[in-house]
Structure 1
Amino acid sequence: MVLKQLNVVAKAMVADGKGILAADESSPTIKKRFDTIDTESTEESRRRYREMLITTPGVEKYIGGVIMYDETLRQATSDGVPFAKYMADLGMIPGIKVDMGAKPLAGFPGETITEGLDGLRGRLEEYYKLGARFAKWRAVITIGKGLPSEFCLQANAHALARYAALCQEANIVPIVEPEVLMDGDHSIGRCAEVTSAALQALFAELAAHKVALEGIILKPNMVISGTEASNRAGTQEVAEATLRCLKAHVPASVPGIAFLSGGQTAEEATEHLSLMNAAGDLPWELSFSYGRALQAPALDAWRGKEENYKAGQDALIKRAKLNSLAHLGKYDSSMEAAA
């Protein structure tokens, strides 16, 4: 019965062209974003910014779920409606980031392990009571000289699987996010190798931990050249390489794959997603779980000023709509100006 409920929630998050808004930046990260628009990061400014995003008129047509930070899950609209209730009433599923961030992996210079498993069972119980129905945990994999090590891949896959098992025990859908970073000068081929290894390790650990794949969402990186690569792969090559990798490693029982944008521009992330969906014949929903690629235009339009509140919402709805079209394989770059 629990598995059936998890499957229903997982499917709803990415159904009908919808995707997931990642609005779960930690306080230090949101401060960096606010610094770029000369806005002080206070509890109220953060609340108001998240309210702008969540209450954008019509956003529920394109967004099936919202990942929140602990602080945000406990906040409410200006009218006093808890964010989780506001979303649920519109059919958007409230979610929560539960990891405590990537920390240096002892004995393995340049590599990280994500912390946050201690006390997670109790936190998940509380988050469920606060209205969260899915969670997110991000592992960070770096490509570099001799990196990643096999141990780093295994350690992070193990942590993701332990987290996922605890989530399902709490009747919460886990988003599992093994992010292979774009940072570096590596080729698209090297990214494909590392992403394949990360996914292979992840699904082996999920099986070992008896995680029901029908009740998860996978949040992977796209297979893409490093940001500093001298000859970066084009959009069609990225789409084809990513699909090859996913088809080889992701079982059809996974209901949805929701990509992270990982440093791509808003337009790049949308175009890559659309090209993949246009290829057709996919065993899972191929969607988006973007942070910056959805929020950056809205943040820039708002700039911390009340008079720009609607402009911020207009910028968000534009990107949400275009990414929804990409989920359906119907996006074209000419729509950027029209939207």
Structure 2
Amino acid sequence: MNLQALIETAQAMVADGKGLLAMDESPGTCNRRFEALGIAPSAEMRRAYRELLLSTPELGSCISGVILCDETFGQATAEGTTFVQLARDAGLLVGIKVDTGAKALALRSGEKVTEGLDGLRERLLAYVETGASFAKWRAVIAVNAVDGGHLPSAACIAANAQALARYAALCQEAGLVPIIEPEVLMTGTHTLAHCQAVTEALLREVFEALTLQGVALEALILKPNMVIAGLAAPTQNTADEVADATLQCLRRVVPAAVPGIAFLSGGQSGELASSRLNALHLRPRAPWPLSFSFARALQHPALDIWAGQDANRAAAQKALMHRARCNRVALRGEYSAAMEAQ
């Protein structure tokens, strides 16, 4: 492991007021979104959509890197240029999602643990040889049980923290920067205060596990949820309240050695995600660079416009760049709703 090279890569991922474009949805997830818009759920249409995203002009002015799924990592443009090379030619770092999805946690109704550790060492080495610079592993934590019980359990938090730590150690061993993504889901009626308590407990356990596994904290990126009330909660908090709770949570449990935090968007709209990201940058300076690693909040306007039609390609790319620029401006605390009318 070349620790200095890993540190430099991690720093580059959150440098220069840029963020990450997460486009690592599984084929199944991508197909469901296609079907909702009347797009054929085929490998060719997925390839065409990924090419649209990666070939967007000036994408590198706002985006430092892209996260791909295994299918996309092996695909190429219509002209034959691999997507990995297309991204690198645009000045983007290339990342790869390496978990195999969240599965039911045994004896824990309504809870999940992310799998994919079997054979991971060999898979990581293959990704490095093909041009990957970083990887991603997502853990999903539900707050409200379907039967009204209390979630998450300590067992669920511990299982996911241990998996994240083992993944991170394997990544650094292979020469990849690990993105650590422990996500407290937005679904449910929980309050902002409850989300904060769960997020703090989760992150505390994650960093204890990372330390136990010997992971270099200086060579990873944390990708957490913002602290937000559940989507079905009767009270939806302001962007300022979200920012205050999120920063208080992170200051309590995230070591200053971490080189950057790139927030996930979860179920937020593009406008809400940008507004809350902006509010975070109106607070006193945090110990770490605060950036973004959005999927739906960046992609969805482009996907809606494209709708599977090549004639809509340029307009879809323009929509993607608009969202990317809104988020880059938010990293300076200069975003406003008025930008959405431009």
Question: Normalising TM by the smaller chain, what interval?
Answer: over 0.9
SS of residue matched to 2:293? strand
1:310 to 306, 310, 314: 314
Deviation string for 1:229-269 (max 9, x for gaps)? Answer: 01121111001100100111111111110111010111000
Structure 2 residue ranges without an equivalent (≥5): none
Once residues 90 and 11 of structure 2 are traced to their aligned partners in structure 1, the CA distance between those partners, rounded to angstroms, is 16
Aligned partners of 1:164 and 1:176 also within 8 Å: yes
Amino acid at match of 2:191: S
Secondary structure in structure 2 of the residue aligned to 1:40? coil
The answer for the alignment partner of 1:85 in structure 2 is 85
In the other structure, the counterpart of 1:320 is 324
Aligned to 2:98: 98
Q: CA deviation at 1:299?
A: 0.1
TM-score normalised by length of structure 2: 0.97
One-letter amino acid of the structure 1 residue matched with residue 82 of structure 2: P
Rounded to whole Å, the distance in 2 between the matches of 1:54 and 1:278 is 31
- Matched residue, 1:218: 222
Query: What does residue 73 of structure 1 align with?
Result: 73
Amino acid paired to 2:214:
K
Is the contact made by 2:59 and 2:90 (CA closer than 8 Å) also made in structure 1?
A: no
Match of 1:259 in 2: 263
1:147 to 130, 151, 168: 151
Shift of 1:309: 0.6
SS, match of residue 21 in structure 2: strand
CA distance in 2: counterparts of 1:265 and 1:231, whole angstroms: 17
Q: Which residue of 2 aligns with 1:181?
A: 185
Q: CA deviation at 1:79?
A: 2.2
Q: CA deviation at 1:310?
A: 0.5
The corresponding residue for 2:43 is 43
Q: How far apart, in 2, do the equivalents of 1:124 and 1:329 lie?
A: 37
Displacement, 1:334? 1.1
Q: Offset of 1:12 from its aligned partner? A: 1.0
5 Å-filtered alignment, 1:277-296, equals: 277-296=281-300
Distance apart, 1:50 and its partner CA: 0.5
RMSD: 0.9
Identity across matched positions, percent: 54
3-state SS of paired residue (2:66)? strand
Residue number in structure 2 paired with 1:118: 118
- Distance in 2 separating the partners of 1:40 and 1:8: 41
Give the Cα–Cα distance (whole angstroms) in 1 for the partners of residues 290 and 220 of structure 2: 13
Matches within 5 A, 1:6-21: 6-21=6-21
Aligned residue pairs total 338
Measure the CA separation in 1 of the matches of 2:42 and 2:8: 37
Question: Helix, strand or coil: the match of 1:278?
Answer: coil
What do residues 24-47 of structure 1 show as CA deviations (whole Å, max 9, x unaligned)? 000110001101210112111111
